[in-house]
Amino acid sequence: MSESIQADMVMDLKGLPCPMPVVKVSKGIKEVQVGQILEAQTTDPGSLTDFPAWARTSGNEIVGTQQENGIIRIFIKRTV
């Protein structure tokens, strides 16, 4: 369950159009240590497909997703 995931860093990406949430997270993920979790908060519905695709190519892991009131929260574990 995503509710129990504790993020080590939160990025507010609400209002940014595709592909900016993924572009910013690809830089921001470097600010957390391997094994830590970054939470991306976005309003871009394309993020639901963009982030898993990015995670596969970057080697990081999506550990949870939550949607509420138009806000998509994606939890990404840095693995590399």
Tens-place pLDDT, residues 61-79: 999 999 999 999 999 999 9
d(CA 75, CA 79): 13
Q: Where are the beta strands (DSSP E) in 1-80?
A: 9-12, 37-42, 61-68, 71-77
The catalytic residue positions are: 18
Nearest of 21, 19, 62 to residue 41 by alpha carbon: 21
Tens-place pLDDT, residues 5-44: 899 999 999 999 999 999 999 999 999 999 999 999 999 9
Structure tokens belonging to residue 69: 């009131």
Element (H, E) at 34: none
Give the per-residue pLDDT at 4. 80
d(CA 66, CA 40): 10
